[in-house]
Structure 1
Amino acid sequence: MVAGGNSKSDISFAGTFASSAFAACFAEICTIPLDTAKVRLQLQKKGIAGDAIGLPKYRGMLGTVATIAREEGLASLWKGIVPGLHRQCLYGGLRIGLYEPIKNLYVGDNFIGDVPLTTKILAGLTTGALAIAVANPTDLVKVRLQAEGKLPAGMPRRYSGALNAYSTIVRQEGVRALWTGIGPNVARNAIINAAELASYDQVKQTILKIPGFTDNVFTHLLSGLGAGFFAVCIGSPVDVVKSRMMGDSSYTSTIDCFVKTLKNDGPLAFYKGFIPNFGRLGSWNVIMFLTLEQIVTQELAKGWLMV
């Protein structure tokens, strides 16, 4: 998937994990304001018709970013960055680091030719599910911290920071609470991971067959945008359910959250925050894949990531 040519098969798992974790963390730092806007839009519920108080507070990606910055300060846009980086170190490193080994496992050692798209999707589903099963606590804390800003003025905040959030959740809700929303989160991340990695892999493979195109930054840019678009289109409904379950403890299960969201807010609620979500995932994928490709290309040349 990265660093075109036969040399990519010589990259060690540790090297791929480290490179992927760094690239994912860099992309996270650059795009978390858009993720904060997305979470706020997804958690926002429909107001009562005709009631001025019920008018939506957040409107659109840029409007939401501006509202948060104006009312809570610019730093609030980076709320959840610490658990976000925790998440990317674990989730980003594992899902990308395991992708090539799992894909090769599915096709077998003697396979020759282009790997089928279905196999790429299956590999993406597998690594996404495995990685988020490990990283779910970091995702939960990140969403909880991002949701803090929507509490009414004067109401005490539940958490003073990421480490405090981990300990408070364990103390008040139990260790199992760290895996709240694991069902929709596994579904969401398996689906989005498959959409991202398989589409990036497939788009890049297709582009490289077009005369005049080479394995360069422009190809990586187009492939990253394609990966982000497919990921948002496919993953938005489960992403909304995941965010609502993690940010609001009133839901008893994934089905309960899905049914209540559909009943109270309508089917379009599952695509709430679509624009900021695409802005987030599209830019995130471009930054992450560009960074990863450059790291792997440079380090392969130095021989630091070899088996």
Structure 2
Amino acid sequence: MGGDHGATTKKTEISFTGRFASSAFSACVAEICTIPLDTAKVRLQLQKTAVGSGNGAGLPKYQGMLGTVGTIAREEGMVALWKGIIPGLHRQCLFGGLRIGLYEPVKTLYVGNDFVGEVPLSKKILAGLTTGALAICVANPTDLVKVRLQAEGKLAPGMPRRYSGSLNAYSTIFRQEGLGALWTGLGPNVARNAIINAAELASYDQVKQTILKIPGFSDNSLTHILSGLGAGFFAVCIGSPVDVVKSRMMGDAAYKSTFDCFVKTLKNDGPFAFYKGFIPNFGRLGSWNVIMFLTLEQAKKIFVKEVPN
């Protein structure tokens, strides 16, 4: 994400439209590849501690990332793993395009146009927090619909589905619960996405900058993969607790507020509940970041223009 590295004398620049388009496209590619892991993550997070649920020792239905993927595929068919892909793509076009596309311009805004040298980490974090918060305020309805579609498991025979598809979900929520309901969970969602965005973009930027100082490394795909993995790891460590609260609030109307959800989760399920689904979350965010940044670094080349110094 950083500036242009290497010994080029020509200056290159990319328009906001180019940044937005390449960011939205890269985010959509990553979403399509990794949404089965995201669906597994949502199911694991929404699963309450098992209470003798008639299956012998009361074991939870979903166990582990691959176990959850297997259970969903077996019970509901492979297609169920891509539940929520349409609002997921709506979300990535809006959210991915804005948060990633605005990152460089906002970072420049914070350091000033005439800034020369390495941007301080604090400014990178601040830029990530800003663009993450702004982008999710626009994209929250897409997130809500995606979680609701993913949360719906196998239904009893004759039970109608809550929503027939993503557009039906938007209109049903609007009709039955009001316009404001589309922004349910905005508080934890802003917190989560600002934090995760800052962790992803700032750490990608920082890890890439550090790797490029190591002899033998250049601005190539290996560097992008390593930086993407670093970005995913930091994002999950920092963002997991707010992610669990967000999924629970969006998937279950029993919570009065973010704080209420946090307290009830802590009391009923213990502190480890906040890292429920850590492995699928890292599997998801790690692979998501690797795919997204690899695609982005290539996609940006289409929009880059050389300008005279």
Considering the TM-score relative to the shorter chain, is it more than 0.5? yes
- 8 Å CA contact 1:245–1:254 kept in 2: the answer is yes
Structure 1 residues not aligned, in runs of 5+: none
State the Cα distance separating 1:110 from its structure 2 match: 2.1
Q: What percentage of aligned pairs have identical amino acids?
A: 80
- 8 Å CA contact 1:136–1:185 kept in 2: the answer is yes
What is the aligned partner in structure 2 of residue 160 from structure 1?
164
- 8 Å CA contact 1:3–1:293 kept in 2: the answer is no
Q: 1:48 aligns with which of 37, 46, 51?
A: 51
What is the aligned partner in structure 2 of residue 192 from structure 1?
196
Q: What is the alpha-carbon distance in structure 2 between the residues aligned to residue 62 and residue 203 of structure 1? A: 29
Matched, 1:204 2:208: yes
What is the aligned partner in structure 2 of residue 215 from structure 1?
219
- When normalised by structure 1's length, the TM-score is 0.95
Check 1:8–1:85 CA distance in 2 against 1; reply closer, same or farther (3 A cut): farther
What is the aligned partner in structure 1 of residue 74 from structure 2?
70
What is the aligned partner in structure 1 of residue 138 from structure 2?
134
- Output one character per residue of 1:75-97: Cα deviation in whole Å (capped at 9) or x when no partner: 00000000000000000000011
Q: What is the alpha-carbon distance in structure 1 between the residues aligned to residue 112 and residue 306 of structure 2? A: 27
- 8 Å CA contact 1:4–1:215 kept in 2: the answer is no
What is the aligned partner in structure 2 of residue 4 from structure 1?
4
Between stretches 53-62 and 145-154, larger displacement belongs to 145-154
What is the aligned partner in structure 2 of residue 110 from structure 1?
114
Matched, 1:85 2:67: no
Aligned residues: 304
Q: What is the alpha-carbon distance in structure 2 between the residues aligned to residue 179 and residue 8 of structure 1? A: 42
Matched residue type, 1:174? G
- 8 Å CA contact 2:147–2:251 kept in 1: the answer is yes
State the Cα distance separating 1:157 from its structure 2 match: 1.5
State the Cα distance separating 1:10 from its structure 2 match: 1.1
Check 1:3–1:296 CA distance in 2 against 1; reply closer, same or farther (3 A cut): farther
SS at match of 2:49: coil
- Output one character per residue of 1:107-159: Cα deviation in whole Å (capped at 9) or x when no partner: 11221110000110000000000000000000000000001116555432110
What is the aligned partner in structure 2 of residue 99 from structure 1?
103
Check 1:133–1:9 CA distance in 2 against 1; reply closer, same or farther (3 A cut): farther
Alignment of 1:290-301 (within 5 A): 290-300=294-304
What is the aligned partner in structure 2 of residue 14 from structure 1?
17
- When normalised by structure 2's length, the TM-score is 0.94
Check 1:35–1:50 CA distance in 2 against 1; reply closer, same or farther (3 A cut): closer
Structure 2 residues not aligned, in runs of 5+: none
Q: Which has the larger share of helix?
A: 1
Q: What is the alpha-carbon distance in structure 1 between the residues aligned to residue 117 and residue 74 of structure 2? A: 54
Matched, 1:250 2:254: yes
Matched, 1:27 2:54: no
Check 1:153–1:143 CA distance in 2 against 1; reply closer, same or farther (3 A cut): farther
Matched, 1:280 2:289: no
- Output one character per residue of 1:191-212: Cα deviation in whole Å (capped at 9) or x when no partner: 0000000000000001101111
SS at match of 1:250: coil
State the Cα distance separating 1:4 from its structure 2 match: 3.1
- 8 Å CA contact 2:188–2:258 kept in 1: the answer is yes
Q: What is the alpha-carbon distance in structure 1 between the residues aligned to residue 278 and residue 123 of structure 2? A: 28
Q: What is the alpha-carbon distance in structure 2 between the residues aligned to residue 229 and residue 153 of structure 1? A: 41
